[in-house]
Structure 1
Amino acid sequence: MAKTVVIDQEECIGCEACVETCPSVFAFDDDAGKAYVIEGQETGDDCVDEAVASCPAECITYE
């Protein structure tokens, strides 16, 4: 069963660390000032784990 990556939008501080670390999976919504997971992207990349570890708000999780 594949893991799904989720960003808690309430907790996201908009630092874009995840986008810089893993731009194939994460993108930034300028209007909301928050990062989001690009729908349909493969989340098994090693960069996802790096993005989770680099998030200062600790708002990226797997479900």
Structure 2
Amino acid sequence: MEPELGGMLRQKGVDVDEITCIGCKHCAHVAHNTFYIESEHGRARVFQQDGDPEELIQEAIDTCPVDCIHWVDYTKLNTLEEERKYQVIPIAGSLVDSGAARIASHRNKQNADKKKI
């Protein structure tokens, strides 16, 4: 039982791929105690893993028009949050070259790692 997930037997959390998200706000309307739209890039983000019942979160996942919301093992959530620091998020509504965004994210991470040395 994971206390971060409300002490439920659920051993998974929900994550949003913000590079893919188009900022439609649907998930925040469906499961408003779990998702919000962050202000800097206009993308969905999870703010409370146990905010809504699993069925409501699943509805938000199932109705996402770009399939950017996923269940993940809760032990991977911290790693995903850490990697988010290095993402390059395109402006909402613009065309996305996901390969270029991932390369830029990787370069940002490499630069940050070099600064640590």
TM-score (norm: length of structure 2):
0.49
| 8 A contact 2:31–2:52 mirrored in 1 | no
* Percent of aligned pairs sharing the same letter: 31
Q: How does 1:22-37 map to 2 (within 5 A)?
A: 22-37=31-46
Higher helix share: 2
Higher strand share: 1
Structure 2: give runs of 5+ residues left out of the alignment. Answer: 1-9, 73-117
Distance 1:57 1:3 in 2: 21
Alpha carbons of 1:32 and 1:9: their partners in 2 closer, same or farther (altered >3 Å)? same
Alpha carbons of 1:19 and 1:44: their partners in 2 closer, same or farther (altered >3 Å)? closer
Mark the structure with the bigger radius of gyration. Answer: 2
**Would you say how many aligned residue pairs link Structure 1 and Structure 2?**
62
Give the aligned CA root-mean-square deviation in angstroms.
Answer: 1.6
| 8 A contact 1:52–1:60 mirrored in 2 | yes
- List 4+ stretches of structure 1 deviating above 3 A: none
What SS does the corresponding residue of 2:28 show, helix, strand or coil? Answer: helix
| 8 A contact 1:19–1:26 mirrored in 2 | yes
Structure 1: give runs of 5+ residues left out of the alignment. Answer: none
Structure with the bigger RCO (C-alpha within 8 Å, sep 6+) is 1
